[in-house]
Structure 1
Amino acid sequence: MIFSDVSRWGWLALTAAVLVGCSSTPRQPAPVENRGGTARTAPPAGPALAAPVAKPMPGAENMGKPGYYTVTKGDTLTRIALDNGQSWRDLMAWNGLENANLIEVGQVLRVVPPDSLPQANGVVVQAIGPSAEAAAPVRPALPAAAAAGGSEIAFIWPTNGRLISGFDEVKNKGLDIAGQAGDPVVAAADGQVVYAGSELRGYGNLIILKHNNTYLTAYAHNRALMVKEDQKVSKGQKIAEMGNTDADRVKLHFEVRRQGKPVDPAKYLPAR
């Protein structure tokens, strides 16, 4: 009986040892069956998203055409109008602008009246402005009579005073005339006020008169302005009082512009 119990317990111990040994054997992963003979790859990526197309600037279809100007950094509508011999209000109307202060770099603006382009000897030429000047035909030289005395318009001196700085195409686009604060500034010829304000940097309180489709005159650094935009003025009429706004001294800066391009006023004014 004792032997039987020992034998039984011995058998149980042997069985337990065998089971423990089996459970301690590391389990091997099941083999992966390759049914197709080639490794599986990730599905191809979908088509790449197209880059957003840049919205064309207003008037881009007219870039480089005669009579149009492409806005560059630092431009203002007043400056563009002055450089092209036009009123900023006309530029607003011709280009459907709602706010004169909202123009964008790259925007193309009409700078001549609709259905009208400057002509010389019957050949259409580029309006003044750097956007496509190189591609335009060369503008004929100013007629000798006009260059000598400005016979197209008989200008008068806009103020009495000593000439302190002459015309220079790079450094000074007009004449600087000395005087005392409050000295009268008069219209150099009959015309219409196309600008009266101080938004154009470097000019202070400024008046611009349009005399015809060819000539503008500009009167800068005034202490006070005596006329308003769209007002018609007569030759010799007082339009401002001399001052030193945006200038280093009291003076009048006077410009004559022919089709927007600054020209030497001394060639258009009577000799003193």
Structure 2
Amino acid sequence: MSRFNLILCIFICSVILTACSSNHVPAPVVQLNTQKDYRDINRGTLKAKNYIVKKGDTLYSIAFQAGKDFRELAHLNNIPSPYSIYPGQQLTLVASKNRQAKKSSKTTGQTSKNPANQSVDPQKKEAYGGHYVKEKLTPDSFPKTVKKWVWPTYGRLVGKFSLSEVGNKGIDISNKRGAIIKAAADGKVVYTGKALRGYGNLIIIKHTDAYLSAYAHNDALLVKEQQWVSAGQQIARMGSDDTGQVILHFEIRYRGKSVDPLRYLPKR
């Protein structure tokens, strides 16, 4: 091979190698999940120390939005069963320092060994068999335990529970508009309405002194407040959230705190 042909061959090879290397530039890295879910942004809990009751509010809905046990609010505000409130009434949501000091003075002084960040979701044995001893109020006619839990609707699970501060406080199930929503357990409907921002047309059912369940973004409600329902009974029809996605947002609250519904619903 002549010197000219050798140089030409080297030049052509270098051009080919350069072209090949330019085709293998790594794809740009896209960071996912950088935006908070809009449902969690809209679903902020009450942070104020006091709250003025609005038309359509119930003690259960206020406690639900504040992430507290309704009996705690009843105790703080001296509200006896059946926990009636009225528009314009001011409710205390956070105990005063004097009240907290009195409470702490009655303790034994022992320090709890439980970690501060322990999950609020208790083991089923404790949750189902537990009883509330902190507040001594007149109890409603509710069972001490949940007999059984059932799935509130059929469909695809599109959102799971998260313990993070801005995480999902329940699960989201997708189906077609008008799909039947069922009560997840026996109980009494303690709230129906649209007063809680981010939940749309909402139903809250009280099952025991410790348990509530919530059903959000309903298209039509089939039950009324103070109505007793059975597990599996139709209570609503599925609607859409603020973005138009047809879903049921379902929560279970244990003593006012959000717990993972998948720990209670039967496996499927």
Q: Please state which band the TM-score falls in when normalised by the shorter chain.
A: 0.5 to 0.7
Q: Verify: 1:167 aligned to 2:161, yes or no.
A: yes
The match for 1:102 is 88
On the 8 A contact 1:157/1:269 being kept in 2, the answer is yes
On the 8 A contact 1:174/1:262 being kept in 2, the answer is yes
CA distance in 1, matches of 2:262, 2:184: 12
Q: Verify: 1:80 aligned to 2:62, yes or no.
A: yes
- Select 1:226's aligned residue among 222, 225, 245: 222
The match for 1:71 is 50
Q: Aligned to 1:94, what secondary structure does the other structure show?
A: coil
CA distance in 1, matches of 2:241, 2:120: 36
Q: Please give the TM-score of this superposition, normalised by the length of structure 2.
A: 0.56
Mark the runs of 5 or more structure 2 residues left unpaired by the alignment: 1-47, 105-110, 130-145
Q: Verify: 1:210 aligned to 2:194, yes or no.
A: no
On the 8 A contact 1:191/1:210 being kept in 2, the answer is yes
What count of residue pairs does the alignment treat as equivalent? Answer: 182
CA distance in 2, matches of 1:209, 1:147: 19
Q: Aligned to 2:220, what secondary structure does the other structure show?
A: strand
User: More deviation in 212-221 or 166-175?
Assistant: 166-175
CA drift at 1:227: 0.3
Q: Aligned to 2:262, what secondary structure does the other structure show?
A: helix
| Superimposed CA distance per residue, residues 142-161 of structure 1 (whole angstroms, 9 cap, x where no aligned partner) | 89984489755221110011
CA distance in 2, matches of 1:191, 1:160: 20
On the 8 A contact 2:60/2:70 being kept in 1, the answer is no
CA drift at 1:196: 0.9
On the 8 A contact 1:196/1:208 being kept in 2, the answer is yes
The match for 1:252 is 248
Q: Are the structure 2 counterparts of residues 93 and 251 from structure 1 closer, same or farther at C-alpha, using a change threshold of 3 Å?
A: same
CA drift at 1:132: 6.5
Identity, % of aligned positions: 41
CA distance in 1, matches of 2:121, 2:251: 20
On the 8 A contact 1:217/1:254 being kept in 2, the answer is yes
Q: Are the structure 2 counterparts of residues 247 and 147 from structure 1 closer, same or farther at C-alpha, using a change threshold of 3 Å?
A: farther
CA drift at 1:265: 0.6
On the 8 A contact 2:192/2:224 being kept in 1, the answer is yes
Q: Please give the TM-score of this superposition, normalised by the length of structure 1.
A: 0.55
After TM superposition, list the pairs within 5 Å mapping 1:86-165 onto structure 2: 86=70, 94=80, 100-104=86-90, 107-108=91-92, 131=95, 146-147=123-124, 153=146, 154-165=148-159
Q: Aligned to 1:80, what secondary structure does the other structure show?
A: helix
Q: Are the structure 2 counterparts of residues 92 and 248 from structure 1 closer, same or farther at C-alpha, using a change threshold of 3 Å?
A: farther
The structure with more radius of gyration: 1
Q: Are the structure 2 counterparts of residues 150 and 97 from structure 1 closer, same or farther at C-alpha, using a change threshold of 3 Å?
A: closer
User: More deviation in 240-249 or 227-236?
Assistant: 240-249
Q: Aligned to 2:149, what secondary structure does the other structure show?
A: coil
Q: Are the structure 2 counterparts of residues 73 and 183 from structure 1 closer, same or farther at C-alpha, using a change threshold of 3 Å?
A: same
The two structures, once aligned, show a CA RMSD in angstroms of 4.0
Q: Residue 250 of structure 2 aligns to which amino acid in structure 1?
A: F
